[in-house]
Chains A and B, each alone.
Chain A
């Protein structure tokens, strides 16, 4: 953190403990996302099940970060950058816990999907997942190295994820219209994609927290937002042209 150490060195140790736990938690969350995605692609129910079970580890880490932060606030009365680190740690831990929840939820949906026949694989999901996993990796690197520029870079990147999600959303809607038997599976896939998209959103939240922790300020430009699925309607376009695949 700071260029010099605290006079009381155990204070430094405790702050470092929080940082290490956040990085560990982030690494676990990233690998949860990866497992859930692989379980989907390989139709691997065992792996999906393990992903669900591993969630408890991340929950436990969040609790231990909470405890460390509360103890530090009570006993050390941190101020300035120390205070920002502790508060940021608390907030990041709760966001990373949510990220892991989304991955676990993907695992559950993966198991459900495996009970149905294979539908056309949506390649956008692993692509989105890979994009978001790299966002997690970079956000953790930004955190570990106090690199506000890298955090800002991740913050801006969320737009790509949103765009992928938009096109995937439309694609799945047309599948469902073509073949109503696929509605159950496609709905699960939409939710999985939404989960990944939310994880990307959380990375922008974390990026803001990291920038605040390092600089004391949040980014001034408005947050890039490109998820337009909340307002997307598709039947009109289809009725206009029957040959249209619906994904212009």
Chain B
């Protein structure tokens, strides 16, 4: 039969990120209301929900990108591997190397493909010499599934690549500083279906070594690639569950209304 065993609870994976009672204020406006969410290690977690529901805000809390926004205040507790990332001694630059980010619009630096990937390892001093740096750059491009396409163009400008290639270049750039976690904010919304498929294939591949959290407006994308899906609405998490369960038998009426296109 089609129904799953209701007693199956997946709790055997370790959480790498744990968010407790996280609220975010933009000035007076409360964009996130006491959200608690555990992110399992080496899985893909999709955050879905209508525009303005707080999913991107939540994502940006995870590597303190909200620090860069004036008037933005974060309350609550977020730990990565048990460490409070909002503790006073935390260096947010190092945090962001560990928790990398890929944005909606591919944003390569106006530099060569090589330098795009080499930029952060240089700053962080990850390579002792040119050979080591070469290794990092090539390995990162390889992991991002881009090496075969650009190995003869390493000195060409990153902005000359196609949209899908640029996005994979940005993923390679994030991988170059050896993160554990990669945050993706609508990474495929500006890509055509073929480029999207390539990025999705890459995301699945990366799951073996990284924990990925992806914000997407494409329900089908969330269904295709994620293991866990969280549905955000009006600054709260309405439902979090196994992706398969959420897309076949959601528990909450609001989730059902949203994913089936009845919202309003």
Contacts and interface: CB of A to CB of B under 8 A. Distances in A.
Contacts of A8: 261
A246 B43 CA distance: 66
Interface stretch (A22-30, A95-103, A210-218): A210-218
B260 interface: yes
A82 B262 CA distance: 11
Contacts of A6: 260-262
A108 interface: no
B112 to A, nearest CB: 41
Interface in A194-248: 208, 212, 215-218
A81 interface: yes
A167 to B, nearest CB: 31
Contacts of B248: 79-80, 83-84, 216
A4 B262 contact: yes
A78 B249 contact: no
A172 B222 CA distance: 60
A82 B2 CA distance: 14
B1 A78 contact: no
Contact of B259 (A79, A215, A216): A79
B123 interface: no
A73 B248 CA distance: 14
B2 A2 contact: no
Contact of A4 (B219, B247, B257, B259): B257
Q: How big is the A interface, by class?
A: 20 to 34
B9 interface: no
A73 to B, nearest CB: 12
B250 interface: yes
Given A77-B220, A80-B249, A80-B259, A4 B3 contact: no
A77 B196 CA distance: 18
Contacts of A217: 3, 6, 249
Q: How big is the B interface, by class?
A: 20 to 34
Nearest to B2: A212
Nearest to B249: A216
Given A2-B260, A7-B261, A79 B1 contact: no
Contacts of B261: 6-8, 11
A5 interface: yes
Interface in B162-184: none
Contacts of B223: 79
Most A C-beta atoms less than 10 A away, residue of B6, B248, B253: B248
Contacts of B250: 80
A131 interface: no
Nearest to B264: A7
A2 B262 CA distance: 9
A190 B3 CA distance: 36
B77 to A, nearest CB: 33
Contacts of B247: 79-80, 83
Interface string B222-264: 0100000000000000000000000111100101110111111
B6 A82 contact: no
A3 interface: yes
Contacts of A78: 260
23 contacts: A2-B260, A3-B253, A4-B257, A5-B262, A6-B260, A6-B262, A7-B261, A79-B247, A79-B260, A80-B247, A80-B248, A80-B250, A80-B255, A80-B260, A82-B260, A83-B247, A83-B248, A84-B2, A208-B1, A215-B249, A216-B3, A216-B249, A217-B3
Interface of B: 1-3, 6, 219-220, 223, 247-250, 253, 255-257, 259-264
Given A82-B260, A83-B247, A216-B248, 11 more contacts: A4-B257, A8-B261, A11-B261, A79-B223, A80-B250, A81-B256, A87-B2, A212-B2, A217-B6, A217-B249, A218-B3
Minimum-distance CB pairs A-B, first 9:
A216-B249, A218-B3, A79-B247, A218-B1, A4-B262, A217-B3, A80-B256, A82-B260, A79-B259
